[in-house]
Amino acid sequence: GAVVSQHPSWVICKSGTSVKIECRSLDFQATTMFWYRQFPKQSLMLMATSNEGSKATYEQGVEKDKFLINHASLTLSTLTVTSAHPEDSSFYICSARLAGGGHNEQFFGPGTRLTVL
Amino acid sequence: DAKTTQPTSMDCAEGRAANLPCNHSTISGNEYVYWYRQIHSQGPQYIIHGLKNNETNEMASLIITEDRKSSTLILPHATLRDTAVYYCIVRVEGTASKLTFGTGTRLQVTL
């Protein structure tokens, strides 16, 4: 099946620094990628929808200037958490939609655990 | 997309069938029922989906009631590796392809 990777799998950073997370579709092209955030013992919350070559669409309450998304190619989307603070510590998960795919066309990455000290 | 209701948690003995219910009483005619699961600290994994007919694949079976207001995911022979949170999601199949995750059911498979 289609594989989505994320890098890094975990990261620890100091408060105030920026962190970039990569999401790659390894064996398929993804016109659309999604970014989710999951706090401990909670469900996944969609943060933004990223379309290749255009600006991302953010969900209500998600700061676009804090969570920068770039989807420069059909196989790569990046999420940059700018000026990270401890409350941004979370599990960040991306998914990629197979271009022209069928019903199970959204494939998830393994997630990136961000810890901000 | 229609809201779903699932039990918070369930237990199942290894080797037995796990039956996970989901209520979606406000489902629309063009909305599909999807099931995903999330093993601890991993990304969600697609299991199965259906519109109105029962469906079966190598992972599970999906039983949808005739009025489509509820469904049941069946894992025929649960193993310890099936311990996960199972999410029932209903959505219209279209270009938006958003998945809205509820709280899901935490399935614990025990020896």
Is A103:A78 a contact under the CB 8 Å cutoff? Answer: no
Q: Which of residues 47-106 of B touch A (CB under 8 A)?
A: 49, 87, 93, 97-104
E strand residue ranges, chain A: 4-7, 10-13, 19-25, 30-38, 45-51, 57-58, 67-73, 76-81, 90-98, 106-108, 112-116
Q: For residue B101, what is the nearest residue in chain A, using CA coordinates?
A: A44
Per-residue pLDDT of A93-103, as tens digits, reads 999 987 666 65
The nearest CA of chain B is from the CA of A113 a distance in Å of: 9
Residues 6+ apart with CB under 8 A from A117: A12, A13, A14, A15, A86
pLDDT of residue A76: 94
Average per-residue pLDDT for chain A: 92
pLDDT < 70 stretches in chain B: 1-2, 94-97
Strand partners, B81: none
| Chain A nearest-CA residue for B40 | A41
Pick from A37-41, A80-84, B89-93: least confident: B89-93
Name the residue facing B42 among A103, A104, A111 (closest C-beta): A111
**Cβ within 8 Å of B, A 51-90:** none
> Looking up tokens 């009025």, which residue turns up?
B67
Average pLDDT over residues A72-97: 95
- In terms of C-beta density within 10 A (0-12 exposed, 13-18 middle, 19 or more buried), how is residue A74 classed? middle
